[in-house]
Structure 1
Amino acid sequence: MKRLITVSGLLSLILTSNTFAQVPAMPTALAVPTSGQAPLSSARRPGTEYSDLDAYGYVEEEFYLQGVAPAITASGQPLLEAPYTTRILVRKPAAPARFNGTVVIEPFSWFGERGAGWILTRDYLLRRGYAYVGYTLNVNTPPVDPKFIADTPAAQAEQIAQYGRIVNFEFMRRFDYARYAPLGTYYDPQRFTRGDGPDPFLPQSQGIGAQLALLLKSNTAQGPLAGLAVQRVYVNSWAVTAQVWMDYLDQGRHQQWRMPDQTPLIDAYMTGRMAYGEVGGDVIRLPRKMPDGVPFVTVYSQSELMHDVIEGINLPPDTDTPQVRYYEVTGMPHLRLADLGTEHSERLPADLDKGNDPRCQTLYDEPAELVVSALLDGMDRWVREGKPMPRAPRVAREGKAAARDPATGNLQGGVRPPWVQVPSATYLTEQETGCGLIYDTKVAYPKDVLGQRYGSFSHYRQQFESAKAVSVQEGFLLPEDAAGLRPIATPQDF
C-alpha cells in the first residue's frame, strides 16, 4: 500500500532535505606539560584575574586543543580546512557535586590574553558552581599586523609600540616558550579581508569555538571536564572578541553546527563592551540569522553607548521572541585598571599631560562586575527556567548626543547602578572629554555639592542603601552582592 504524502508533509520533507545542520569535527584535548610556572591568564597568578580557587574548591588545568577547522571569510564563506593547535584554560569544581551543569566559554582578549568575562563574573561563577573555559584565538605575527592598521604610519607605529609586545603567539612564547611553542593556526592576510584591509580576526575562530563547545558538551571520558555532567554551554565574550560571536550568529553557524542529536552547541550568548562592526565597517546590532529560543545579550558600557549615539546607530528593541536584550549600563567605563591583562598597561592622564585637567584626573573603577554578574544570572534563569531577563530603558538621546540630567550631570535612562541612582560624581566618556585615554573618567562632586544634595554622609548612605534595594528588585544586582557593595563617597568627602 502506498503511503500518501500530504502537502504539509511534502513541505516538511523538502525543508528537511535542504537543511544544512551538521556536527562539527571533534577536537582533541591534551594536557599541557608543566613548565614550572602557572599558565598565562591563570587565576592563581597575582594580577587582575586572580581568585582564591582553593577556597571555592576549584581546580585549574590547561590543555592543548587540536583539530581541523574551516577558515571562514568575514562575509561568511569557508575557503579551506586547516589544522590548528591552540590552548584552553579550564577552571572547574574539584567535586562533581559542586558543578551546576553549565560551562561558560570565553575567548581571551588580543591584548595580554585577558579573560574579561572571567574578571567581571568570577566571584559569581565560583559561588554558583559553574565551570569556566577560556581559550586562545591568536596567530603568528604577519608582515603587517591588521590589529594595528591605522590612518597614518605614525599612528600605526604608536599602536605597535604600545601593544606589539602583548599580542599574538610571539607574546605567549616569550612568556613561556616551552608551554606555548606548539601553538599554531591558519592565517593569510591576502585571502581573508574585512572592510578595506586584512581581517584581524582569526579565520578559524568560529570553527574552534564550535568544536570546543562540542567537546565540552559531549561529556567524553577523555574530555577536559571528564567526570562532570555538562548540560549547557554559554558564551561570555567581551571587547574585540565579541565580534567573533556576532559573526557566528550573523552567518547562521548556530543553526548550521549542532550536537549529534541536533540540539544546539551553545545555549546562550552574552557579549559586551563592543560596538559590532567597529572593526571592518559592517555595522549591525542584531544577527541577521538570529536563532529562536536562545538568548542574545549585549552589555554596553558608557563608551559603546556613546559611540552609537554619536554615529546615530539605534539599538534593536528588546524582545522575547527572538530572545534579545541590550543593556546600556551607566556609570560603567570601557576599561578599568582591574580589567588589564598580563603585561598590559594603558596611558594615564599624567602620561598625556592631562593630569591637571579636571575632566581627566580621575578614572572610575566602580564595581560594574556586580551588574554583569546579575545579568549573567538572569540569562541563566532565562535558559533554565524560561523566565525572561529584565528590560531596561535606553539612554535618552538628544539628536546625536546623550541626554544628561542637569542636576547630576549623569546620563538619563539605561541601567542605573546604585552609584548612578545616588551619585557622588559625574561619569563621563572619552568621546566627551577628549582626554586621549582608553579609560573613561569622572568628576567627583565637591564637598559643597555633596552637602547641598545629601546634607550629610549618613543621609547619603541611607539613600545609597535604598538604591541597592531598587537594583536588586530590578534584577541588576544580586542580593548576595548587594550586602558587600559600599557607598562610593566616603565620610571624608563630606
Structure 2
Amino acid sequence: MTSYALPRRAAGAAVVLGLVAAAPSDFAAAAAAATSDRTPVGRASVTGPLPGTVPGDPRSPDTYPFFSTTDDLTKAGYVEQEFIVSGTADGYDTAGGKVAGGVPYTTRIIVRRPAAAVRFSGTALVEWQNVTAGYDLDALWDADAVTRAGHAWIGVSAQRVGVDRLRGWSPARYGDLDVTGGGRFTGDELSYDIFAQAAKALPEAMGGLRIRTTLAVGASQSAARMTVYYQSVLPKVAPVFDGYAFIVGTAPTRAGDEPVFQVLSETDVRTPDRPADTDRFRRWEVAGAAHSGWRGQQYRAPISVRDLGAAPQYACGSPPFSRVPLDHVVAAAYEHLVRWVRRGTPPPVAPPLLFNTDGTKARDTLGLAAGGIRLSQVSVPTALNTGDNTGETFCRLFGTHQPFDEAVLRQLYPHRAGYLAKVVQADVGNVRAGYLLPADAWQNLTGHS
C-alpha cells in the first residue's frame, strides 16, 4: 500500500480459554486400563544438560545446540537446555510389525521450559523434530504461545537423517549419537520407541518441574511418523502420551484411547473426502494458510544463516509464503487438547473448506478459499493469501501472498473505521468460537502477527 495505509490489525476479546485443574479424565482412565497387555516402554538414561546453551562464535559450532533458538528466553523466564538420551529400543516397520528388540541407541533432546516452577503450566509439548529439509527442524516451536501459556517444549531427534546431520555439523558434540543400531536399521525402525522413551524420561530433564500432561506434536513428515506410531505401534505398547496433535500432516484413523487433534492448512486439504469428527478425533482446516508460511520462514532464516551458512532461497511461480497465521490456530488447538485430556471436554467443531462439484477448491471473487476457519486476515483481507503455489522444491508448500493494490483496498474499505470494525468483529468471533486465543487477537491489534 502507498497513500492508502490501513492501520494495524485490530481485535477485541474478553473470552478466555483458560485451563481448569480437574481430576483425571476418562481418557486417562481408559488408557491406564488398556496397558495390562501392552509392552512397557523402556527406560532411557538422561545425561546433561550439555554445556554451551547460548550460541557463541558461529565458527565454533561445538559450543551450542544445533538450531538453538534466537528468541529471548531469559526475558520470558525460560531456559533452553540440551540432553543426551540413551537406551535400548525396539524396532517396528510401518505396519507395526516388530522387527528388532533391545537395540542400543543414543540421541539428543532440546528442552525449552520455564526456569521457575511457579511459571509452569504442567504441560509438555513433545515435538517429533521434522527432517524433511535434511536436518532437525523445530517446526512447531512458537515462543509467544508457549511462554505465555507456561508450557514446556521438547524437541526429540528420532530419525537418522537429523542425527546424521548433527554428527556432521559437530562431531565433538554429537559424534556419539546413533539411532540406527550401528547402521543395521537405517529406515527409522527404532524411531517410534525412541520418541516414546524420550518422553517417558522427561522428568529427568525438567529441572524438578512436575509434568501433568504430555502431548505428542508433529508437523508434516513428523505427523506421518506419529500416525504410524498411533495407528500401528501404540496398540502394542504402553501409552506415554496423554494426547496427540497432528499438524499439517496425516492423522490416524484408528479410534484409540488418547484424543487426536488434526490441524491442516489450506495447502494440506486436497479432497472433499474427510473423516468425521468423533469424541476422540477433531479436525480443523484453516483457509488461506500455508503448509509452511511466512512466520516460520522469518524465524528460521537467521538461524539457518548462523548454523548452515545461508538461508534457503526459492524461485516460486507466485510470491510465496502466506501471511495467514496458522500458528494462532495451532496455539488454540493445544489449549483445547489439554482441556480434552484433563477434563474430557472435546474441542469445538469447525467448518470444512468448501469444494466445487469438479473437486476443485471453492473460492470467492478475490481468489480466497471458501469455508474453513477464517481468521481476520482472510475474512477482512488486504491481500490474497492462499495455500497454493508452484515452482521448485518446496514452493508448493509455501502458499502465496499478493497484496491488493490501492484501488481494490479503497473499494473494499472506503473508510478506515469500517475496516477496523470488521477486523474486530472477525477476531472476536474467532475467539468466541474457540479458534483463536485472546492474546493472539491482541497481537493482531498491536501489529505483531
User: Structure 1 residues 460, 211: closer, same or farther in 2, change over 3 A?
Assistant: same
- Whether the 8 Å CA contact 2:42–2:88 is kept in 1: the answer is yes
- Structure 1 segments, 4+ long, off by >4 Å, are 16-19, 187-192
Deviation string 1:105-146 (CA, Å, 9 cap, x unpaired) is 01211133111111xx3322211221221111232xxxxxxx
CA apart distance, 1:181: 0.6
> For 2:74, what is the secondary structure of its paired residue?
helix
Structure 2 match to 1:462: 421
Q: Does 1:363 align with 2:363?
A: no
Structure 2 match to 1:434: 390
User: Structure 1 residues 333, 346: closer, same or farther in 2, change over 3 A?
Assistant: farther
Structure 1 match to 2:80: 60
Over the aligned positions, Cα root-mean-square deviation in angstroms equals 2.6
Q: Does 1:180 align with 2:174?
A: yes
What does 1:142-221 correspond to in 2, within 5 Å?
A: 167-186=161-180, 199=187, 202-216=188-202, 219=203
Q: Does 1:256 align with 2:220?
A: no
- Whether the 8 Å CA contact 1:249–1:287 is kept in 2: the answer is no
- Whether the 8 Å CA contact 1:315–1:326 is kept in 2: the answer is no
* Cα distance in 2 between the residues matched to 1:455 and 1:41: 45
CA apart distance, 1:67: 0.6
Structure 2 match to 1:94: 115
* Cα distance in 1 between the residues matched to 2:367 and 2:50: 54
Structure 2 match to 1:109: 130
User: Structure 1 residues 170, 80: closer, same or farther in 2, change over 3 A?
Assistant: closer
* Cα distance in 2 between the residues matched to 1:169 and 1:257: 25
> For 1:331, what is the secondary structure of its paired residue?
coil
Structure 2 match to 1:291: 256
Query: Aligned partner of 1:449: which letter?
Result: V
- Whether the 8 Å CA contact 1:268–1:383 is kept in 2: the answer is yes
- Whether the 8 Å CA contact 1:418–1:464 is kept in 2: the answer is yes
Deviation string 1:366-412 (CA, Å, 9 cap, x unpaired) is 33222211111111122223322111111111132111123x32111
Query: Aligned partner of 1:41: which letter?
Result: F
Q: Does 1:411 align with 2:369?
A: yes
Structure 2 match to 1:300: 264
Bigger Cα Rg: 1
Query: Aligned partner of 1:335: which letter?
Result: S
- Whether the 8 Å CA contact 2:166–2:174 is kept in 1: the answer is yes
User: Structure 1 residues 18, 326: closer, same or farther in 2, change over 3 A?
Assistant: closer
> For 1:325, what is the secondary structure of its paired residue?
strand
User: Structure 1 residues 339, 208: closer, same or farther in 2, change over 3 A?
Assistant: same
CA apart distance, 1:95: 1.4
Structure 1 match to 2:106: 85
CA apart distance, 1:335: 1.2
User: Structure 1 residues 19, 428: closer, same or farther in 2, change over 3 A?
Assistant: same
| TM-score, normalisation: structure 2 | 0.80
Structure 1 match to 2:284: 327
Structure 2 match to 1:46: none
Instruction: Note the residue ranges of structure 1 that are not aligned, 5 or more in a row.
Output: 1-15, 44-49, 140-166, 193-198, 259-263, 277-284, 355-359, 489-494
- Whether the 8 Å CA contact 1:102–1:233 is kept in 2: the answer is yes
- Whether the 8 Å CA contact 2:294–2:323 is kept in 1: the answer is yes
Query: Aligned partner of 2:253: which letter?
Result: P
- Whether the 8 Å CA contact 1:34–1:179 is kept in 2: the answer is no
Structure 1 match to 2:406: 447
Structure 2 match to 1:38: 64
CA apart distance, 1:467: 0.9
* Cα distance in 2 between the residues matched to 1:327 and 1:397: 16
Query: Aligned partner of 2:121: which letter?
Result: N
CA apart distance, 1:243: 1.1
Deviation string 1:179-234 (CA, Å, 9 cap, x unpaired) is 11110012799988xxxxxx5xx111110122122223xx4xxx112412222210
- Whether the 8 Å CA contact 2:220–2:248 is kept in 1: the answer is yes
Higher relative CO (Cα under 8 Å, sequence separation at least 6) belongs to: 2
Structure 1 match to 2:215: 234
> For 1:470, what is the secondary structure of its paired residue?
helix
> For 2:39, what is the secondary structure of its paired residue?
coil
